Structure 1
Amino acid sequence: MSSCVKRFGRSCASLVSKRGLSTSCIQKDAAVVAENGVKSLNLYSAINQALHIALDTDPRAYVFGEDVGFGGVFRCTTGLADRFGRSRVFNTPLCEQGIVGFGIGLAAMGNRAIAEIQFADYIFPAFDQIVNEAAKFRYRSGNQFNCGGLTIRTPYGAVGHGGHYHSQSPEAFFCHVPGIKVVIPRSPKQAKGLLLSCIRDPNPIVFFEPKWLYRLAVEDVPEDDYMLPLSEAEVIRQGCDITLVGWGAQLSIMEQACLDAEKEGISCELIDLKTLIPWDKETVEASVKKTGRLLISHEAPVTGGFGAEISASIIERCFSRLEAPVARVCGLDTPFPLVFEPFYMPTKNKILDAIKSTVNY
């Protein structure tokens, strides 16, 4: 199994996607030196840079997981073991429950435990450790103990050829659990700043990394140490006719739909949620009260997806302002397919159709 997973990871690393991206996400692979203390980085390089900073600035920080010692299947941990030593960056057995359990203990002793689950699809053996141990550690001890130094990194979502065991988006499972935070970046700059915030946050966090964007999303990233606030959504495009909410890789698809909608005279406001739990209801509510309409898009199946929670909350808060039912453009209620992935995914055209249908309701 290990060799199979490694081969899959290498093929993912060399993937050249046909999926469109915004002008800020041009396909490149190498970091290019830019001016004013920034570098043009892809997403995996930005994560690698964040991990270097985390280990360099805190001697209590440790990185561990399957194959992280040689850089990992997506190369996010490249160079860490050589620089910081095998006692701080080390491989673990293929046992996700053991990885997270070890991380809980390490964090409970006052360390910064940065655990990697090789694919989010394989996080489920660690589900009990995350939801029954990490999430409840502080509560059950009456705040005498905690494992707030635990960050669980894991690649999630579609990748173009992953099928049902390497393409899932399980974020909604963890949004149901009080005591942990769930964070998903959309771009390299966001990934670096949010990951450093997660590592230094006093709560256990699951940090989902959109694997589709590891080498495709490129932007100028500050070289220095910086953090971005958690639980603050960002309005990345202003509009007045409809509000669109998403996270991770789906933001680039939604942005394309917004551009096409603009050609037809529809003004879309686009919001990146970034932190799913606890999520920024106020920013979304303010936008919906302005536009009167809401569309949510994510790769996970529509039933029980986190879009349903957003929809319910906004209906409670903005019922009198809504001019149309809340729309959701999501994955299908099926196992993630292989050859039929294009039919499963929430594409630009699906989102555009939903925008027009909602605006013309």
Structure 2
Amino acid sequence: MTQEESPVSLADAPTRRLNMIEAINDALDIMMERDANVVITGEDVGYFGGVFRATAGLQAKYGKTRVFDTPISECGIIGAAVGMAAYGLRPVPEIQFADYIYPGLDQLVSEAARLRYRSAGEFTAPITVRSPFGGGIFGGQTHSQSPEALFTHVAGLKTVIPATPHDAKGLLIAAIEDNDPVIFFEPKRIYNGPFDGYYDTPASPWAKHPGSVVPEGYYSIPLGKARIVKEGEALTVLAYGTMIHVAEAVLAEKGVDAEIIDLRTLVPIDMATVEKSVKKTGRCLVIHEATRTSGFGAELSALVQERCFYHLEAPVERVTGFDTPYPHSLEWAYFPGPVRIGEAVDRLLGA
């Protein structure tokens, strides 16, 4: 077992270089081998191995009673998972795209999130709902949404979004082991490798990215613990998922000494790390791909203002997606990129 410290020490553990899909598949494989109660369910997750191949080979290895396909019914997939969890299993349902999760929202909000409380602790809902989210593959309006804020609003749900293969594996293992329901969103724009920060042309293989070094075997990363991607003094950048790589690229290009924090877990959130950083830098920039109004960046801005007000040298800035339906043909203009992030940085540093 390799237990994360800060950061994970790879000195004594054999490692592999994996992309995010491979790391997720590895985590599922490990947990299915360790715990016979772990089952995988969803559309095309069995014989086909998932639309993005995240479950490839698992049905052949563990059988059709533990990795099985479902009808096209997200309400049924999540509802059945609630029943499995109450019975004692640890289901890992896959929703093929986050855009399809809405029919199952009632089951998540009214059943999974409340099961522990309404049963006075007699039952729990150890469900990990995996789903690719966000844009970057020209999937259009029904394959590109970022609905994470809907789930962070629901008491009883945990929301996790990894940014690297290393974190995807460790966080997914921790999510499956958790006794409460976890929404595990996987940024599909970086499923297969990194990019140059804001265009879809790969700039370098994952082999050159430190997050692609993934320890062999079992390890977990505690939910609710952020990662300091880069230390800095000029300002604090808060982001998650794909936007971590965007922030790194843009700020490096501008030569700004920013401290970049990968939240990793939105709920529970590591406010201790955020607060310490903002109090040090005095400036805060929040970046996310989802629409601006009522996005998770609004909550982050409020938390930073409440806890760090007397240390702030400028108002908290947000760079987000626009308050529009997801634009298929204008996808790359919709994403936070070098122009809008650069303008926000200039405002913060000029205040």
Work out whether the TM-score is over 0.5.
yes
Q: Separation in 2 of the partners of 1:348 and 1:233?
A: 24
Whether the aligned pair in 2 keeps the contact of 1:189 and 1:221 (CA below 8 Å) is: yes
Tell me, in whole angstroms, the C-alpha distance in 1 between the residues paired with 2:72 and 2:120.
Answer: 33
2:97 aligned with 1:119, yes or no?
Answer: yes
Alignment-derived partner of residue 236 in structure 1:
229
Is 1:180–2:170 an aligned residue pair?
Answer: no
Q: Which amino acid aligns with 2:220?
A: M
Structure 1 stretches of 4+ with a deviation exceeding 4 A read none
Give the structure 1 partner of residue 66 of structure 2: 88
Q: Distance in 1 between matches of 2:308 and 2:84?
A: 44
How far has the Cα of 1:75 moved from its partner? 0.2
For residue 258 of structure 2, the aligned residue among 268, 271, 279 is 268
Partner in structure 2 of residue 281 of structure 1: 271
Aligned residue in 1 for 2:286: 296
> Following the alignment from structure 2 to structure 1, what is the Cα–Cα distance between the partners of residues 265 and 106?
22
- Kept in 1, the 8 Å contact 2:13–2:216? The answer is no
- Whether 1:79 and 2:57 are equivalent positions in the alignment is yes
Q: How far 1:36 sits from its partner (Å)?
A: 5.8
Q: Structure 1 counterpart of 2:182, which letter?
A: I
Is residue 135–residue 144 contact of structure 2 (8 Å, CA) maintained in 1? yes
The reply on whether 1:337 has 2:315 as its aligned counterpart is no
TM-score, normalised to structure 1's length? 0.88
Structure 2 alignment gaps of length 5 or more: 1-11, 195-205, 207-211
Indicate the SS of the match to 2:141: helix
1:164 to 137, 141, 151: 141
RMSD over equivalenced CA pairs, Å: 1.1
Deviation at 1:326, TM superposition (A): 0.4
Find out whether 1:245 has 2:238 as its counterpart: yes
**Structure 2 residue 346 is matched with structure 1 residue 356:** yes
Q: 188, 199, 212: which one pairs with 2:176?
A: 199
Picking from 247, 254, 260, the partner of 1:254 is 247
Range 328-337 or range 217-226, more displaced: 217-226
Identity %: 48
Query: Normalising by structure 2, what TM-score?
Result: 0.90
- After superposition, give the CA deviation of every residue in 1:151-204 in whole Å (9 maximum; x if it has no partner): 100000012311111100000000000001000000101000000000001111
Q: Which of residues 299, 313, 322 is equivalent to 2:312?
A: 322
Listed one character per residue, the Cα deviations across residues 208-252 of structure 1 (whole Å, up to 9, x for unaligned) are 000111111431111111001110111110011100000001100
**Tell me, what secondary structure is at the counterpart of 1:350?**
helix
CA distance in 2, matches of 1:116, 1:250: 23
State the secondary structure of the residue aligned to 1:163: coil
Task: Note the alpha carbon deviations across 1:65-106, whole angstroms, 9 max, x for none.
Answer: 000012011000000000000010000000000000010010
Task: Give, in whole Å, the separation in 2 of the partners of 1:166 and 1:350.
Answer: 24
For structure 1, the 5+ residue unaligned runs are: 1-34
Aligned length: 323
Q: Which amino acid aligns with 1:208?
A: F
Task: Note if 1:223 corresponds to 2:253.
Answer: no
Cα-to-partner distance string for 1:43-86 (whole Å, 9 max, x where unaligned): 10000001100100001110010000120110000000000000
In 1, Cα distance between equivalents of 2:77 and 2:137: 28
Residues 85 and 137 of structure 1: is their aligned pair in 2 closer, same or farther, counting only changes over 3 Å?
same
Q: Does 1:101 align with 2:79?
A: yes
Residue type matched to 2:172 in 1?
A: L
SS in structure 1 of the partner of residue 310 of structure 2: helix
**Distance in 2 between residues matched to 1:158 and 1:143, nearest whole Å:** 38
Match of 2:337 in 1: 347
| 1:15 counterpart residue number | none
- Report the Cα distance in structure 2 between the residues aligned to 1:158 and 1:323, rounded to whole angstroms: 33
Q: Is the CA contact (8 Å cut-off) linking 1:255 and 1:270 kept in structure 2?
A: yes
Give me the whole-angstrom Cα distance separating, in 1, the residues matched to 2:178 and 2:122: 17
For 2:142 and 2:254, the matched residues in 1 are separated by 34
Question: In the alignment, residue 95 of structure 1 is paired with which amino acid?
Answer: S
- Residue 41 of structure 1 corresponds to 18
Q: For 1:296 and 1:239, how far apart are their aligned partners in 2?
A: 15
